[in-house]
Structure 1
Amino acid sequence: MDSKSLPPRREPLFPTIFYKTQFCERQAGLPAGLSLSSKVAIVTGSNAGLGFESARQLLALNLSHLILAVRSVEKGEAAAAKLRQSAPKAKIEVWKLDMCSYASIRAFAERVGKGLTRLDIALLNAGLVKPSFELVKETGHEESMQVNYLSSVLLSLLLLPHLRTKRASNNEPGKLTIVNSGLSLTGKLPLNPNKPEQPILKSFDDPEKFSNTTWYNTSKTLMHLFLWKLTEYVSADDVIVNIVDPGYVKGTESVSNMPKITALMAKSFAAVTGRTVETGASTYVDAVAVKGKESHGCFLTSWRIHP
């Protein structure tokens, strides 16, 4: 069954869901003989952490051409140098992509259109947790909502035509996977009773209502709603679109933007409960290289389809 058809989760508390998905699911192995030879993939936010590790794992499956889409080209080139050592036969490029800039996103998509004759996989991994409220000057929106939702939606819509038209000659569908989180199940809309006329998306730009955890969680909830609607317009025969939760992972840079006390608590919790970066990244690889049409429009958690 797909995510839309599954009944909603009935656990009264999120920790119960966390325990079941984090500790009771078992890592899915890769099919024998799986190869990404001749395929082209884009991985955003891939200079470190889960993005870098997922890129490494894709290259280990003989991926032929990898594009690291990163905000800092310098950091991207440093990451590419490491990857080239382990995958010397692959073509590895670093392309500039600033998820806080609509102009940068459009330029990136235009480069894809002009510079690539083939595109099989787009893994949108860039994400952000902000400790304090900050608006993006170019767009006027709060930064974490900008990166996690608004910019990811725009990039998805701009890449979909290329994934459809630049796919393999054997008509295998392209793959678009957007990184999500189990915390999406706890998202809440910050509606202001004093401003009932305020549009929902605009309400996230209100500094008086800001909460870094609520904003992050809800940005992931909104991606569920986007995916639900998107699949009414995109066929799995053209592009398979899904969202993936890697689980709680230790050793990533996600805590670097947290307040010191929160970061310390997060690191301590991760030390006890967290998955390794390698295990977390394997959920990405499963979503883009193993899962097929059955995952179209689905929320993947711990290598499984969930409601």
Structure 2
Amino acid sequence: MKFSVWTFILDQWKRQPPALKTDLTGKTVIVLGANTGIGFEAAKHFATMNPGKVILACRSQSKGDAAVQKLKAETGYSRAELWLIDLADFSSVKRFADRFEREGERLDILVENAAIGSSTYIKTKDNWDISFQVNNLATSLLALLLLPTMIKTAEKYSTIPRLVVVASGVHYWVTLNKTLCEDPDILKTIGGEVFCSVPKNMEDRYLVTKLFNVFFVRALNDRLPSTTPVITSAVDPGYCYSELRREFSGFMAVFDWFMEKALAFTSEVGSRRLIWTSLSHPENPDKLRGQYTASFQILEPSDFVISPEGKKVQDRSWNELVEILGKVDPRVTETVNKYLTASPM
């Protein structure tokens, strides 16, 4: 599928439907990046549905505490909890997963929303470009570490948990050149210092990370047996007012200001799409398996994603991802071996 600029503009001008509602009594929801923007607004929506627990997974103690208090003040919901996680630090992700193994009990909805929109190379303590680690590696690590709990939740409570990865429509506007497509270590290249130190390679950094969000969802779904009662999907929240572009300066900052005034959704409106992907099709949730959603519907992803070249990149990057993350935490390898198939379904 192609997604033109005009299609984007028309989509932004459409009247957006209200957020879905359902009864979440007893269920546990985690929202990454929930202290601000669409993450916070999504957490607010979930809080109005009487969940057993909503976990706001945030990097900052002070901002997270403020978000919990604001959520309680605006919804009356008193069972929201702040759990700290820094996606730029694999050890922090592991500590979050360790805590959830001890205290979590069940996990019904995981919304992986946190992202960085930077085009500047910053090396993390784990020796990855910060955008690639936060947007791709760490979100994938958390998903795979929490997947066993989601499967056990389904078995114990006869539910169908959902993993929702926040992607973006910008993935339509990027492809990978032949050299990258054929690179046997494509993730190490894209997230490494040599590649990222070339300014031209960083111009479409955010677009590339969103492309790999779509690849991850599709690759994971391909390897989840159809009998496994966990639904994994990607969602485009649309173009919203956001702190994601806070590093813009000069012409880009001015241009983005005008774009926001003309086209942007509020964070609350954008969050409705996250809610839709988390709750829609309750009578047949399998419709959302491995799907990319936008504008409150299932859409075909980019032509590159569904092309033979894209499928090869998807499968090879999955194998490399499992290898990388398995070294970060052996539980990843255990999860893949126990719950997923060795090759696409």
* TM-score interval for Structure 1 and Structure 2 normalised by the shorter chain: 0.7 to 0.9
Query: Does residue 66 of structure 1 match 2:57?
Result: no
Moved more, 238-247 or 289-298: 289-298
Matching residue of 2:12: 22
1:118 to 83, 90, 106: 106
Q: For residues 89 and 266 of structure 1, what CA distance do their matches in structure 2 show?
A: 35
Matching residue of 2:224: 234
Q: For residues 152 and 274 of structure 1, what CA distance do their matches in structure 2 show?
A: 26
Give secondary structure in 1 for the equivalent of 2:35.
coil
Matching residue of 1:83: 71
Q: For residues 2 and 84 of structure 2, what CA distance do their matches in structure 1 show?
A: 43
Query: Does residue 200 of structure 1 match 2:181?
Result: no
Matching residue of 2:256: 266
Counterpart contact for 1:45–1:70, Cα < 8 Å: yes
Query: Does residue 182 of structure 1 match 2:169?
Result: yes
Matching residue of 2:292: 299
- CA shift, 1:28, in A, is 3.9
1:222 to 207, 212, 221: 212
Moved more, 236-245 or 72-81: 236-245
Judging by fraction of residues, say which structure has more helix: 2
5+ long unaligned stretches in structure 2: 301-345
Q: For residues 116 and 153 of structure 1, what CA distance do their matches in structure 2 show?
A: 19
Counterpart contact for 1:53–1:278, Cα < 8 Å: yes
Query: Does residue 162 of structure 1 match 2:162?
Result: no
Q: Deviations over 1:245-284 (max 9, x none)?
A: 011112x211212234312211210110111211101001
Distance 1:89 1:272, change over 3 A: closer
Letter in 1 for 2:31: V
Counterpart contact for 2:54–2:81, Cα < 8 Å: yes
5+ long unaligned stretches in structure 1: 1-8
Moved more, 259-268 or 138-147: 259-268
Distance 1:89 1:49, change over 3 A: closer
Matching residue of 1:51: 39
- CA shift, 1:68, in A, is 0.7
- CA shift, 1:290, in A, is 2.3
Q: For residues 242 and 233 of structure 1, what CA distance do their matches in structure 2 show?
A: 14
Which structure exhibits the higher relative contact order, with contacts defined as CA atoms closer than 8 Å and separated by 6 or more residues? 1
Distance 1:164 1:210, change over 3 A: farther
Moved more, 48-57 or 218-227: 218-227
Q: For residues 134 and 200 of structure 2, what CA distance do their matches in structure 1 show?
A: 16
Q: For residues 199 and 169 of structure 1, what CA distance do their matches in structure 2 show?
A: 39
Q: Deviations over 1:92-123 (max 9, x none)?
A: 11111000111111111111111111211110
Give secondary structure in 2 for the equivalent of 1:37.
coil
Counterpart contact for 1:167–1:174, Cα < 8 Å: yes
- Report percent identity of matched pairs: 27
Counterpart contact for 1:190–1:209, Cα < 8 Å: no
Per the normalisation by structure 2, the TM-score is 0.78
Letter in 1 for 2:48: A
Moved more, 291-300 or 239-248: 291-300
Counterpart contact for 1:131–1:259, Cα < 8 Å: no
Q: Deviations over 1:58-80 (max 9, x none)?
A: 11222231111111111100110
2:137 to 150, 153, 161: 150
Matching residue of 2:235: 244
Q: For residues 257 and 79 of structure 1, what CA distance do their matches in structure 2 show?
A: 22
Matching residue of 1:102: 90
- CA shift, 1:91, in A, is 1.0
Q: For residues 212 and 55 of structure 1, what CA distance do their matches in structure 2 show?
A: 32
Letter in 2 for 1:234: L
2:159 to 152, 160, 172: 172
Query: Does residue 35 of structure 1 match 2:26?
Result: no
Give secondary structure in 2 for the equivalent of 1:166.
helix
Q: For residues 228 and 181 of structure 1, what CA distance do their matches in structure 2 show?
A: 14
User: Aligned-residue CA RMSD in angstroms?
Assistant: 2.2
Q: For residues 108 and 203 of structure 2, what CA distance do their matches in structure 1 show?
A: 34
Q: For residues 165 and 128 of structure 1, what CA distance do their matches in structure 2 show?
A: 31
